[in-house]
Each structure stands twice: as C-alpha cells, then as structure tokens.
Structure 1
Amino acid sequence: MTTSRRPFGRALCAMVTPFTPSAELDRAGARTLARRLVDRGCDGLVLNGTSGESATTTDAEKTALIEAVCAEVGDRAHVIAGVGSADTRHTLALARAAEHAGAHGLLVVTPYYSRPPQADVEAHFLRIAEAARVPLMLYDIPARTGTRIEPATLIRLAAHPRVVAVKDCAYDLAGSSKVIARTSLAYYSGCEELNLPLYAVGGAGFVSTVANVAPGPLRDVLDAYDSGTGDCATGGTGTNGTAGGAYRTDGRAGSVRAHQRALPLIEAMMASGLPGTVTAKALLGRLGLPGGPVREPLRPAGRETADGLLGLYGELVGAAAT
C-alpha cells in the first residue's frame, strides 16, 4: 500500500550495484536482480546508496544503473536514486540526472566530511527539494557522514512538500518516534535489527541491504505485524526459498517470531565487521545471482564467510517456509 505515510511502499531494498568479473557495471545483471527483488515482494529499490557502492561508481554509471532498473521494473516498483555527495552543487547535478533517467524519488544523504552545522544541513536539503521534481527521502546516517540530522531539523524540513521520507540509520528510536509523532514523514528503517521496533512506533517500513538476498522473510515481519491475527503469506517460495513464504501467525507475536528468525542472518551480514555490500555480494554469488565483485578499496569476503552466510540463509528461508 502506498499512502502519505508510505510514499514508496513498505519493503524497499538497498540494491547492490552488480558488476562484471572485471568490475564494470553489469546492466543486464542489474535488470535481472531488480526483477527478482520486485517479484519477491519489494515495493521499491534504492539505487546508488551505500550498498550500491556509490562512493566508487561514476556519475555516468549511476545514471546508467537507474535507466536499466527503471526500464525493467519502473512500472511495478518505486525506484529511488541516491544522489548524495559532499558538495551541494554536485548533489543538484546528480538529482537532475536521476530524474531524467526516470527515478521516482531521490535519496539525499547529509553532506559528509565537512560536518556542516544544522542550519547548513537544513539549507542543503532545501536547495535539493526546491530544485527537485520528485519526492525526497533524507538519509540520516551519522556514523558514516559525521553529522546527524537532528530531530528539530527534520521537523522543520517536513514542512516542505517534497520532503516526504527518512531513511533512518541514527539509532535513536526516541528521536525518531518524536519526529514520527509530529510530522507526516515516512520513516524507513535502515538498520535491519530495528525494522520491527521502528515499524511498531509508526515507521513506514525498511530500506534493507539484507533484502538483496532475503526480501521475503523481511517483508514477512511487516505482513505479520499488519495482519493482526490469522494467516500471513507472501506467496510461494520456489526451490531456493528466496521469497519467504506462508506461515501461521497469531498477530503481533508472529511478527516478533519472524523478526527473531531473521536476526542471525542480519547479524552475520551487517554486524560481522564487514560492510553489508561485501556480505550481500558474497551471498548473492553463492546463490548464483547477479552481484559480482566489490570495488576497491573493499575486498571480497573469504570462502569461510560466504559458506557461513549461505548456511544461515538456508536456515532462514527454511524456517520461513514452514
């Protein structure tokens, strides 16, 4: 369902950028992966973000990726393009290119490295919002940018009609709850372990790296929460179980169980000391799906790590299908 509280749907994947073995952009692989993710329950795909290795892709590659994904699934899912940079002028240029390529929304991160004060952060976002023709999702991830979008700043920014959502990686449930209560901003969890807690206090859903490999089981958590009582189903699983599946739930307790089932894979992918891009691409490779290598300075996961991820993945999709 898409509403003012869920402008991009509920279940969004922070999609990796598939590369060929020589680390060039894999347009065909991107189309294949995008189609698979939407077929398995993703309402939207967020491109050129942290998981999409935006720091090491060129502007031309970013545009080409948006064009490929929009051509494949743009009529079935929201395509949100990451356009963040440390430079407001560059961000504006990326935003214009993304819109021209067909993006339905823009993911705009806090300017990084220069650590601007809150008044400058606010001015930066307003510059993008004024120039944009599509809605914005602000990306609050202070651990990477060095600067928080403070709740008071978000409350002010919510007054702009094109500022509609937040990807929340601030690890401040109280602050997020305050903004949710006082604005119409759609809050999307960017930290999988907080998907259910944020949803329970009024969040819109998630933008997930883990969804690259397990979109169904993550969506099951939201479906179970919304179902109240009775059956919760996301459809058939197929032979590899990627889609998750149908299971019996007793309402909110069912969402807790589904959340707990996903935690081992979430922890292994997102809290093992390796970037989520590295673990996601390692597991995609084990599953025979497009992903390819990561670009330097990142390095691929080792065989033991990839084998461990595959085992946890198998346990999750097996449990979700029972």
Structure 2
Amino acid sequence: MTSVAPAAPFGRVLTAMATAFHEDGSVDFDGTSAIAAHLVANGHDGLVVSGTTGESPTTTIEEDGEILAAVRAAVGPSIKLVAGVGTNTTVHSVELAQQAEKNGADGVLLVTPYYNKPSQKGLLHHFRQVVDASELPVMLYDVPSRTGTTIAFDTYAEAAQWDKVIAVKDAVGDLVRALRINTELDLAVYSGDDANTLGFLAHGACGVVSVAGHAAGNEIKAMFDAWFAGDTVGARQIFTRMLPAIDAIMGVPNYGATTAKATLQLLGVINNRNVRSPLVPLDDEEYAALRAGLAASGLI
C-alpha cells in the first residue's frame, strides 16, 4: 500500500552541509563546492548552507554570502538551497536574509536566538523582522539543546499565519508536538535529528535536515522512498543499518562540523578536517570511533 507523501517545500533529503576551511582558517571555496556536489550526487534534493554545521557562528556576513554563491554555482538552479540566517542579533539576521535573497537562496533557516533567551513575545518580534526582510520562504528552527529556548506552540500558531513561514526544522524530539504543528498549523515538518527521523516520518514529517547525510544521503533517500511507497518494514531495515553511523556522527560532544568534516575526509571528498576555533578536530580516538561506526553501516 502506497502512502501519500506530504509536500516538501524545500526538498525531502537535505543536509546542513559543512563549510571547508584552509589550514589558516580561511574559507576553502573549492572544498565547500566539492561538499555540495558530493551531497547532490548522493541522494539530496536540497542543502542547508551556513547552518550550525557550516560553522555559521564563526563566519562573517560577507563569507556567508560568498559561500552561498559558490554552492549555488556548484549545484545549479534545480537544487533547493536554504540559507542559515539565524543569529542572536535581529539586525544581523535581517542583513543575512536580504543577502541570501540576492545570492540565490530558495529559502532561509531561522533558528531561535541563542544565549540571550528571549521571551515568546521577543521570539515573535525577532521572527517577524527577519520574515519581512526578504521575499524568501522561511523554515523556523527549534533546537533548545543549543539555544536554551523552545518555540511555544502558541508562538508557532501565530507565526504560521504569516504567508512566508511554511516549515519547521524540529530538533525538540517531541513527536506528538511535531504532528500537531503539521496537522493543526499546516506547517511542513522536517526532522532536525537523524536519530528521530523514522519516528518523525510516522508522525507526518515531509523530510529531514540531516548531519549523517554527509555520508548516508543515498540511504536516507532510500528510507524515504520505501516509507512513502508503503514499505515500512523496508524503511525500518534501512534506518537500522544506518544507526551505527548515526551514533558515531552524533555521539561526539561537539558533533556536527567536527564529525561532518572527518566523515568527508574519510570519504575522500575533502583532504582535511579543519574547523574554526572554538571547535577542534576529532582526536585520534574519536576519529577511530567515527570510522568504525561508518564502517559498521557499510558507508566506508
């Protein structure tokens, strides 16, 4: 029995892609373009550029614009590009949204301001300013483990009335809440946590914004294809095979950029795993654990 796949306005399989850096810390645009091309060649129909995994807290506005332009040139016009514009300064986020529109983004990813922990009223004010800054559709991003703030359901309900707010990247992990956001507010829901993606599918998600997709894009796509073809057993089998890799990629305290870079180096996509401080590359023990997890899932 085939299920009806929900609309996926930004694509179905997206990865919050890493940004490559040279040894001196400058952006490696050739390496970044290679990462984008690798993802598109392996199951992706969308990419998130300059998200947290892209080390956006350490890149400048100018660099973010140049990275987006380089990725667009590398992948062509058919791949959905979502630009991360979330910061804890509204003026900064407004400027990033305006720049993203000029540089070829199809939408923006707007995370809750981190560290300063605004009230729900403050969140709505921040969101409204950024939403109004461009004509691009918006994916809100809820990840309280990193920001310290959760978007309340009533806040979602108000933001959902704005035409340009069309999707949510949910890393809260509350599957029933995600289902309500989708069914009651008509927002497309993307899993923001690889370990919960299969559960999110069962609760109405249309896609994923992944980190494991740096290595497992084809497998994630196969899981989605199986699920929406009604083969829930097959989808579960694919997900189960991916679990060692997901655990390895997400099991390091500063996962994301560090494990993504190391994964891409193991796959031969880039030739180093440079990150910007305050992150540091994986040590030898962490690198070996990552390699073992990827190997156990058959990805290297």
Question: TM-score, normalization: structure 1?
Answer: 0.88
Equivalent of 1:100 in 92, 99, 102: 102
Equivalent of 1:302 in 283, 286, 291: 283
Shift of 1:275: 1.8
Where does residue 91 of structure 2 map in the other structure? 89
Letter of the 2:287 counterpart: A
Is 1:276–2:256 an aligned residue pair?
A: yes
Letter of the 1:269 counterpart: I
Query: Which runs of 5 or more residues in structure 2 are unaligned?
Result: none
Secondary structure of 1:138 counterpart: strand
Where does residue 50 of structure 1 map in the other structure? 52
CA RMSD of aligned residues (A): 1.6
Structure 1 contact 4–184 (Cα < 8 Å) conserved: no
Letter of the 2:256 counterpart: G
Where does residue 79 of structure 2 map in the other structure? 77
Is 1:266–2:268 an aligned residue pair?
A: no
Q: Counterparts of 1:74 and 1:318 in 2: how far apart (Å)?
A: 26
Structure 1 contact 157–163 (Cα < 8 Å) conserved: yes
Structure 2 contact 176–203 (Cα < 8 Å) conserved: no
Secondary structure of 2:35 counterpart: helix
**What are the equivalent positions in structure 2 for 1:189-204 lying under 5 Å apart?**
189-204=191-206
Where does residue 294 of structure 2 map in the other structure? 313
Shift of 1:4: 7.7
Q: Counterparts of 2:10 and 2:242 in 1: how far apart (Å)?
A: 23
Shift of 1:306: 1.8
Shift of 1:131: 2.2
Q: Counterparts of 2:34 and 2:264 in 1: how far apart (Å)?
A: 12
CA spacing shift, 1:132–1:180, aligned 2, 3 Å: same
**Greater relative contact order (CA < 8 Å, ≥ 6 in sequence):** 2
Q: Counterparts of 2:264 and 2:156 in 1: how far apart (Å)?
A: 35
Please give the per-residue CA displacement for 1:98-124, whole angstroms capped at 9, x wherever unaligned. Answer: 111111110111112221111121121
Please give the per-residue CA displacement for 1:28-85, whole angstroms capped at 9, x wherever unaligned. Answer: 1111111111111111110111100011111111111000001111412101100111
**What are the equivalent positions in structure 2 for 1:1-322 lying under 5 Å apart?**
5-228=7-230, 251-290=231-270, 292-317=273-298
Letter of the 1:263 counterpart: L
Shift of 1:192: 0.4
Please give the per-residue CA displacement for 1:168-216, whole angstroms capped at 9, x wherever unaligned. Answer: 1112212111111102211111100111111111111100111112211
Q: Counterparts of 2:91 and 2:238 in 1: how far apart (Å)?
A: 43
Question: TM-score, normalization: structure 2?
Answer: 0.94
Please give the per-residue CA displacement for 1:12-41, whole angstroms capped at 9, x wherever unaligned. Answer: 011000112222101111111111111111
Structure 2 contact 86–93 (Cα < 8 Å) conserved: yes
Structure 1 contact 12–42 (Cα < 8 Å) conserved: yes
Structure 1 contact 46–79 (Cα < 8 Å) conserved: yes
Structure 1 contact 23–292 (Cα < 8 Å) conserved: no
Q: Counterparts of 2:275 and 2:245 in 1: how far apart (Å)?
A: 20
Letter of the 1:214 counterpart: A
Structure 2 contact 90–126 (Cα < 8 Å) conserved: yes
Moved more, 3-12 or 183-192: 3-12
Letter of the 1:19 counterpart: F
Structure 2 contact 107–137 (Cα < 8 Å) conserved: yes
Aligned residues: 295
Letter of the 1:315 counterpart: A
Letter of the 1:303 counterpart: D
CA spacing shift, 1:58–1:6, aligned 2, 3 Å: same
Shift of 1:288: 1.7
Q: Counterparts of 1:51 and 1:274 in 2: how far apart (Å)?
A: 10
Structure 2 contact 6–204 (Cα < 8 Å) conserved: no
Where does residue 240 of structure 1 map in the other structure? none
Secondary structure of 2:268 counterpart: coil
